């Protein structure tokens, strides 16, 4: 018996020593080895600080920057990503930062950015914190064969021709007409086409504004909540054939989940921490469970309708389910399609990304046009020339050159996502740098978008004319403008977002002029996407 206890004690001791060595290797030996490696490549950065790296300084600088508004300038990087701006100023473009015990290399060369984006099997999405999966997984976060399969199945919902077909299928509507057509109908009926959905949502928001302005001619209005509501309503109708009110709870939960993730991402993630029953972890788990349950209910109803012989492929969910069934039939087995869990995750992406990207694009465009009245007038003149007082249609939206230039410039100065992270899957040579397996890379979208060496001395100024001959001419064919990502993994919903934004802005410009309110405080900040921290109060005038 004594021998058994001795052996047990030895085994436990060896196990504890192995665990201690693993922890020590993770927090010290491996980071120091990587630090030496990176310096040999000519890269610069702060000396490694055990466990925290640069994250304490990063979090403190972010908190300090957000404590007060900035002056009215479109160079938002010092407020939104202050640590990265200071770091680049200190060490130059070839630098790295410590995300806890892992270094992250900033890639600023357009050719290298292009290579990283195009070789998506070699440079994969970085997963520095697995809690991000609770916000949304789906095609945006899958890799290799699973990513390829999901992208193939999802693509039909977002083809430009599919969008055009849906938008062209009905050219006239009013709030009353389409409100009547959407109420009191059975769920199985093919109902919400994309153009009517866009128009109905815009009409409802603008009718609300007209009611507020009525009798006064003008009023002060924080348009940020309205634009969030608009894009939530659009994605509810176009994705699920439902209204914002039905999906409101899901949006609220997803927004809260995103805020939780931003908070935890500013801290060092300890492996296994997501399983510890902290207050935040319990709340994130509860949100994930409720969101999945709600979306599963929507999908189950649709699946039952399809099994009953009803066809409904006039929204994104219907097209996705139809495409999934077609993939299964063609390939000859369910394993070739998506599971219900997979579909739920894609729907979470629809809800989150579909709403966030367009709402921030719209709010910054309205803020910019409030400040630059000459561009607002040019955009309105073009809209009235193309549509008059008629409702926008797809062909007309496609011809709005001035408005397109303005939207591109808004996306350049206020990109929805400030940067993209990648990791190497094996030791890789990128340009003159040799990167070890598992190295983190950052493609700093915002820094690239305002780099004066690329865009000229006016890089930080609002000048839509730079896009008058298109993106390729403005960027000289280089990978320096990527608000929706790039390469094979470019955002599948970018055309959807741009069409929605053009339609909303065209209808707003037809009916209203707007300017900044004296109460407006310029305070862009990153809360998953680049948002106005204190809202967007504008003075709205009825035309």
Q: What is the pLDDT of residues 377-396, one digit of tens each?
A: 999 999 999 999 999 988 89
Query: Looking at the chain, how many residues does it have?
Result: 543
In the chain (543 residues long), the average pLDDT of successive 10-residue segments reads 71 77 86 92 94 92 94 96 96 93 95 95 82 77 85 74 45 31 29 67 94 90 95 83 70 84 78 83 92 87 77 73 84 81 83 83 98 98 96 90 98 96 93 90 97 95 97 93 93 87 96 97 93 97 95
What is the full DSSP assignment across 391-459? PP-HHHHHT-HHHHHHHHHHHHHS-SSS-EEEEESS-EEETTEEE-TT-EEEE-HHHHHT-HHHH-TTT
Q: Which strand (E) or helix (H) includes residue 4?
A: helix 2-24
pLDDT at 356 (0 to 100): 84
Whether the Cβ atoms of residue 525 and residue 81 lie closer than 8 Å to each other: no
Number of other residues whose CB lies within 10 A of the CB of residue 108: 21
Q: What is the pLDDT of residue 159?
A: 61
Contact 380, 513 (CB under 8 A): yes
The CA distance from 151 to 489, in Å, is 9
The single residue listed with the structure tokens 């608009």 is: 230
What is the chain's Cα-based Rg? Answer: 25
- Give strand pairing partners of 540: 219, 514
Which two structure tokens, joined as six digits, stand for 166? 């849906």
- Beta strand 428-430 pairing with 433-435: antiparallel
3-state secondary structure of 204: helix
Q: What is the pTM of this model?
A: 0.87
Tokens of 275: 């399983």
Under a CB-based contact definition with an 8 Å cutoff, are residues 142 and 150 in contact? Answer: yes
State the pLDDT at residue 189.
28
Q: Can you read off the two tokens belonging to residue 206?
A: 């603008």
Burial (CB count <10 Å: 0-12, 13-18, 19+), residue 346: buried
**Can you give the pLDDT at residue 170?**
34
State the pLDDT at residue 253.
86
pLDDT score of 241: 73
* Inter-helix orientation angle 316-331/340-371, to 10°: 140
Helix (H, G, I), strand (E, B) or coil at 146: helix
Task: Note the helical H segments in 222-310.
Answer: 223-240, 244-265, 279-307
Contacts of residue 531, defined as CB under 8 A and 6 or more positions apart, other chains included, come to: 224, 360, 363, 524, 525
User: Which is it for strands 102-106 and 440-443: parallel, antiparallel or unpaired?
Assistant: parallel
Residues β-bridged to residue 529: 527
420 Cβ contact partners less than 8 Å away, ≥ 6 residues apart: 442, 443, 445, 482, 485
Return the pLDDT at 153.
85
Cα angle value 301/304/308 (rounded, 5°): 140
Closest by CA position to 335, among listed 145, 533, 196: 145
With residue 220 as reference, give the H or E element that holds it. strand 218-222
């Amino acid at each position: 018996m004594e021998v058994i206890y001795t052996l047990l004690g030895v085994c436990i001791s060896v196990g504890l020593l192995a665990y201690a060595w693993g922890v020590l290797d993770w927090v010290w030996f491996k980071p120091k080895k990587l630090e030496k490696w990176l310096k040999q490549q000519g890269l610069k950065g702060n000396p490694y600080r055990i466990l925290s790296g640069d994250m304490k300084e990063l979090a403190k600088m972010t908190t300090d920057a957000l404590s007060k508004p900035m002056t009215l300038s479109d160079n938002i990087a010092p407020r939104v990503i202050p640590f990265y701006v200071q770091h680049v100023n200190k060490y130059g473009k070839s630098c790295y930062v410590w995300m806890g015990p892992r270094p992250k290399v900033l890639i600023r060369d357009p050719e290298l950015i292009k290579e990283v984006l195009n070789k998506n099997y070699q440079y994969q999405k970085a997963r520095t914190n697995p809690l991000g999966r609770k916000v949304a997984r789906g095609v945006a976060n899958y890799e290799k064969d699973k990513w390829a399969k999901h992208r193939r199945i999802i693509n039909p919902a977002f083809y430009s021709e599919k969008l055009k077909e849906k938008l062209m299928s009905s050219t006239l509507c009013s709030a009353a007409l389409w409100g009547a057509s959407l109420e009191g109908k059975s769920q199985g009926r093919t109902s919400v086409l994309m153009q009517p959905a866009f128009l109905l949502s815009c009409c409802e928001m603008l009718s609300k504004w007209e009611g507020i302005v009525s009798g006064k001619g003008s009023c002060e209005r924080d348009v940020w909540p309205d634009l969030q509501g608009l894009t939530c309503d659009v994605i509810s109708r176009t994705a699920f054939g439902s209204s914002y009110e039905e999906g409101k709870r899901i949006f609220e939960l997803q927004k809260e989940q995103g805020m939780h993730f931003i908070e935890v991402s500013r801290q060092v993630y300890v492996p296994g921490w997501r399983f510890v029953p902290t207050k935040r972890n319990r709340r994130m788990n509860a949100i994930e469970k409720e969101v999945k349950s709600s979306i599963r209910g929507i999908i189950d109803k649709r699946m039952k309708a399809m099994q009953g012989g009803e066809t409904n492929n006039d929204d994104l969910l219907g097209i996705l389910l139809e495409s999934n069934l077609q993939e299964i039939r063609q390939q000859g087995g369910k394993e070739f399609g998506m599971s219900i869990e997979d579909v739920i995750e894609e729907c979470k992406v629809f809800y989150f990304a579909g709403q966030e990207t367009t709402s921030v694009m719209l709010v910054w465009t309205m803020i910019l046009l409030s400040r630059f009245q000459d561009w607002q007038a040019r955009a309105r003149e073009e809209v009235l020339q193309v549509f008059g007082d008629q409702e926008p249609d797809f062909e007309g939206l496609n011809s709005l050159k001035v408005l397109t230039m303005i939207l591109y410039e808004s996306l350049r100065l206020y990109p929805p996502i400030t940067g993209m992270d990648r990791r190497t899957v094996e030791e890789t040579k990128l340009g003159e740098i040799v990167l070890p397996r598992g190295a983190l890379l950052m493609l700093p979208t915002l820094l690239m978008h305002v780099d004066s060496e690329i865009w000229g001395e006016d890089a930080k100024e609002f000048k839509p004319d730079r896009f008058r001959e298109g993106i390729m001419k403005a960027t000289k064919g280089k990978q320096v403008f990527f608000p929706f990502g790039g390469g094979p993994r470019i955002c599948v919903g970018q055309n959807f977002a741009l069409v929605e934004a053009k339609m909303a802005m065209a209808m707003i410009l037809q009916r209203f002029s707007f300017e900044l309110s004296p109460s407006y405080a310029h305070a862009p900040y990153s809360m998953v996407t680049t948002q106005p921290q204190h809202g967007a109060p504008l003075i709205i005038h009825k035309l």
